[in-house]
């Protein structure tokens, strides 16, 4: 059984809170470029802090592979959290003074040294702390017992609110729970409960919409949810790959060509459920304005690439989404970062936002998809916008996630 933070009364303790703050950082400004994941974990931070707990946050950024590497430092994340919590920010690896008001402390000291554990323990409980990138330590991704114990020694209680990384068997989400009382945070609880609705309590019609390029990341999810779904709407590189598998010309479209057999198999398995684009938007390799045209998917030129689904497809997909009772969407349907190839992705994000909450239970996830949903102004309207990319896909593929299993 998972113990949920919401049902517990953790007060006046030291709490180690694992968060997924693996967010994009702007290369020029070195500031957080998208704080969706950070925003989603604020309620847990606030709850713990308001209950008189000393909160020590920990997380990772990128893949520094067990080496200290400034480029993957969490400073930008720390500054953003401090900003959002309206706390004064300091960055240090020294002893922290007892300030008269609460501070947000980005504590950079190396926790494999006892001196730093002692200094962390001495920080007043009114302050909120963030440790430096856990992946600077090789023990993190090795799921090392020693590193897990080290982390556990920092606190009385551990809270996992890092759904996005719970598909990784890492010390801070897996091994740690053996050494300290462990709970699922508010965000993790919402993720688990929302995604379980899709897996176990979905109402029909169930519409699955998928796009993006990397089908290899999504096959297991497509197979598992495909069984439950009544309709599978495909766009983006995935749809182009299905077209290729059917022997159609897709020109220079970006697809995972080596996975075309997989697409062929899926197409056979889910015959009658899969809807491929009825029309597509194509352009030349430079996306030149004059080269853009809408065409039948059977008439793509050798020098053209498919960059979006066309207007007929938008209408046909919208029709399915409007009668759905359960919707899952992962992966943009076109090259939505470049206008006007965002047309279908924006339009269908709005359709999903429109039917969510009232008519259908809508779940959306994946970094790019969440981006698209935000651009379309629909984050607030969709029942559940997941903070997980790979983690959401694995959960929805029916797989067990190490970080969640460790809490049981």
Interface with Mg ion (CB under 5 A): 390
Contact between 390 and ligand 3PG by CB under 6 A: the answer reads yes
Residue 108: what are its φ and ψ, rounded to 5°?
-95, -5
* Of 206, 205, 167, nearest in space to 328 by CA: 206
Asked if 385 contacts 379 with a C-beta cutoff of 8 angstroms, the reply is: yes
Contact between 389 and ligand 3PG by CB under 6 A: the answer reads yes
Nearer to ligand 3PG, 168 or 190 (CB): 168
- Which range, of 45-53, 160-168, 191-199, 306-314, touches ligand 3PG by CB under 6 A? 160-168
Q: In which residue are the tokens 């020693």 written? A: 146
As beta bridge partners, residue 158 has 16, 182
* Of 168, 58, 233, nearest in space to 399 by CA: 168
Nearer to ligand 3PG, 96 or 165 (CB): 165
Contact between 168 and ligand 3PG by CB under 6 A: the answer reads yes
Q: Is 131 helix (H, G, I), strand (E, B) or coil?
A: strand
- In whole angstroms, the minimum distance from the beta carbon of 328 to ligand 3PG comes to 18
- In whole angstroms, the minimum distance from the beta carbon of 75 to Mg ion comes to 21
- In whole angstroms, the minimum distance from the beta carbon of 84 to Mg ion comes to 23
Q: Are strands 305-309 and 182-184 parallel, antiparallel or unpaired?
A: unpaired
Nearer to ligand 3PG, 297 or 403 (CB): 403
How far is CA 261 from each of CA 62, 205, 219, 242, 302, rounded to the nearest angstrom? 32, 28, 12, 9, 21
Q: Burial code of 57-75, b = ≥16 C-beta within 10 A, e = fewer? A: bbbbbeebeeeeeeebbbb
Work out the burial of residue 197: count CB atoms within 10 Å of its CB; fewer than 13 is exposed, 13-18 middle, 19 or more buried.
Answer: middle
Residue 366 contact among ligand 3PG, Mg ion, none, beta carbon within 5 to 8 Å by kind:
none
- In whole angstroms, the minimum distance from the beta carbon of 348 to ligand 3PG comes to 24
Q: How far is CA 335 from the centre of its chain?
A: 19
Q: Are strands 280-283 and 293-295 parallel, antiparallel or unpaired?
A: antiparallel
Nearer to ligand 3PG, 77 or 349 (CB): 77
End-to-end CA distance of the chain: 5
Nearer to ligand 3PG, 237 or 389 (CB): 389
Residue 165 contact among Mg ion, ligand 3PG, none, beta carbon within 5 to 8 Å by kind:
ligand 3PG
Nearer to ligand 3PG, 164 or 185 (CB): 164
Nearer to ligand 3PG, 73 or 354 (CB): 73
Q: Are strands 305-309 and 293-295 parallel, antiparallel or unpaired?
A: unpaired
Residue 334 contact among ligand 3PG, Mg ion, none, beta carbon within 5 to 8 Å by kind:
none
* Of 129, 138, 134, 133, nearest in space to 71 by CA: 133
- Which range, of 163-171, 183-191, 259-267, 324-332, touches ligand 3PG by CB under 6 A? 163-171
- Which range, of 24-32, 95-103, 162-170, 199-207, touches ligand 3PG by CB under 6 A? 162-170
Between helix 260-269 and helix 219-228 the angle, nearest 10°, is 10
Number of residues located near ligand 3PG, criterion CB under 6 A: 8
Nearer to Mg ion, 24 or 390 (CB): 390
Q: Which residue is nearest to ligand 3PG (CB)?
A: 22
Pick out residues in 57-96 that bind ligand 3PG (CB under 6 A).
63
Residue 177 to residue 183: CA distance in whole angstroms = 9
Per-residue binding string, ligand 3PG, 17-36, x by CB under 6 A, is ---x-x--------------
Residue 231 to residue 265: CA distance in whole angstroms = 17
Provide the binding-site residues for ligand 3PG, judged by CB under 6 A. 20, 22, 63, 164-165, 168, 389-390
């Amino acid at each position: 059984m998972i113990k949920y933070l919401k049902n517990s009364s953790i007060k006046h303790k030291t709490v180690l809170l694992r968060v997924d703050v693996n967010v994009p950082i702007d290369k020029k400004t070195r500031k957080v470029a998208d704080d969706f994941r950070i925003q989603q974990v604020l309620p847990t931070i606030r709850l713990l802090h308001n209950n008189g707990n000393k909160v020590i946050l920990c997380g990772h950024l990128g893949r520094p592979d067990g080496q200290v590497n400034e480029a993957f430092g969490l400073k930008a994340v720390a500054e953003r959290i401090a900003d959002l919590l309206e706390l004064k920010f300091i960055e240090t690896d020294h002893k922290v003074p007892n300030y008269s008001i609460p501070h947000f402390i980005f504590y950079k000291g190396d926790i494999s040294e006892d001196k730093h554990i002692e200094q962390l323990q001495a920080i007043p409980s009114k302050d909120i702390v963030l440790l430096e990138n856990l992946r600077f330590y090789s023990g993190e991704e090795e799921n090392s017992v020693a590193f897990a114990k080290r982390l556990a020694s920092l606190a009385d209680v551990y809270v996992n609110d890092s759904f996005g990384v719970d598909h990784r068997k890492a010390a801070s989400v897996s091994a740690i729970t053996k050494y300290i009382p462990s709970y699922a945070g508010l965000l993790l609880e919402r993720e688990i409960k929302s995604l379980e609705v899709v897996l176990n309590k979905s109402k029909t019609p169930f519409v699955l919409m998928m796009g993006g390029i990397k089908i290899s990341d999504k096959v297991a999810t497509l197979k598992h949810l495909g069984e439950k779904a009544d309709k599978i709407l495909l766009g983006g590189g995935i749809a182009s790959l299905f077209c290729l598998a059917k022997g159609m010309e897709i020109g220079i479209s970006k697809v995972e060509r080596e996975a075309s057999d997989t697409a062929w198999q899926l197409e056979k398995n889910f015959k009658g459920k899969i809807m491929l684009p009825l029309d597509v938007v194509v352009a030349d390799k430079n996306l030149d304005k004059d080269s853009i045209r809408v065409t039948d998917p059977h008439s793509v030129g050798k020098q053209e690439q498919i960059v979006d689904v066309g207007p007929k497809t938008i209408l046909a997909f919208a029709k399915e989404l409007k009668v759905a009772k359960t919707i899952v969407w992962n992966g943009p349907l076109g090259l939505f970062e470049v206008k006007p190839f965002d047309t279908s992705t924006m339009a269908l994000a709005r359709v999903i936002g429109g039917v969510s909450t009232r008519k259908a239970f809508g779940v959306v996830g994946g970094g790019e998809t969440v981006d698209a949903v935000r651009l379309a102004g629909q984050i607030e309207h969709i029942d559940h916008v997941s903070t997980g990319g790979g983690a959401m896909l694995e959960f929805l593929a029916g797989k067990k996630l190490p970080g969640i299993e460790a809490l049981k």
